[in-house]
A = this chain, B = another copy of it.
Amino acid sequence: MTHPRRSSRPIYHQIADDLRVQITSGDLAPDAQLPTEGELCDRYVVNRGTVRQALGLLLNEGLIVSVRPRGYFVRDRKHMTYRPQDEYCPRPENPSADQFLTSVAQEGRSASQAIEVAIIIPPREIAERLQLPEGGRAVVRRRVRAIDGEPFNINDSYFPSDLVERSEITNPADIARGANKVLAELGHEQIRATDEIYVRMPRPIEVTRLQLGPGTPVAVHYLTGYTAQDRPVRVVENVLPGDRHVIVYERRKSDAQPGTEA
């Protein structure tokens, strides 16, 4: 690799391109170790700073990870299926634990979740969806779900404070029959829901809670549940690390009217 000083793709991009090809072609298999920074300096005859710029690109593309002080490794991805529908109407067959715990157990892995309940003035995104008045309070049930001890996703459910204040929902433990059931018993049965999915880089707090590496975007799934009177009574915010999830919808025949598209 030469250093054509001008009018060329920057050296660190060239180095990144070279390594990227090796990774995507499989020459560098998942979990394989990359050459050390020093070796790359020698190989490409550049300064360490330039090598680090190249590696920085690959880190931010989510292609490699740095395991200090061992070196850089090709990232391996395993995707767990996430079905937004399950967030709405789960646990038909096993009402003693929630959908997440059940489905993971079926795969023979150990799942756990930490639950925390608080009454707060929710962030704008939530307040808007719950149609709360200015300064209106909400009860939030915050959960971090983990598989085999590793944090997996964030699942925060918000309810208008006045609806659930003295109900079971404010109890920081798993609700066996489901929070929706409790809401229905309180006279606020949900009959409709919308899903919104945003894609962005995680916020620092999310990086911490989910132990995210660089180059890991998240999908944020908002589920808003409405009563027959079109009143929003629940908003669930799910934060799903991109390197650990596929979001899957199954479409029924009734939804499908053939008609178009490329």
Contacts and interface: CB of A to CB of B under 8 A. Distances in A.
Contacts of A252: 192, 255
A255 B85 contact: yes
Contacts of A258: 89, 178, 180-181, 183-184, 189-191
B251 A254 contact: no
A63 B133 CA distance: 29
Judged by DSSP, the binding face of A is mixed
Copies of the polypeptide in the assembly: 2
B217 A197 contact: no
Given A217-B217, A260-B98, A261-B90, A246 B157 contact: no
Nearest to A17: B204
A150 interface: no
Given A258-B184, A262-B175, A245 B199 contact: yes
Given A89-B259, A180-B261, A217 B246 contact: no
Given A251-B88, A259-B181, A246 B197 contact: yes
B251 A192 contact: yes
Nearest to A82: B197
20 contacts: A17-B204, A60-B60, A61-B203, A89-B255, A89-B259, A92-B257, A98-B260, A141-B262, A180-B259, A193-B256, A195-B250, A196-B246, A197-B219, A197-B247, A199-B199, A199-B242, A199-B247, A217-B242, A219-B219, A254-B254
Given A193-B251, A194-B250, 13 more contacts: A60-B201, A61-B203, A84-B249, A88-B251, A90-B261, A169-B262, A178-B260, A179-B261, A180-B258, A184-B258, A194-B248, A219-B219, A252-B255
Interface of A: 17, 20, 56, 60-62, 79, 84-85, 87-92, 95, 98-99, 115, 141, 143, 155, 157, 169, 175, 177-181, 183-184, 189-201, 203-204, 214-215, 217-219, 234, 236, 240, 242-243, 245-262
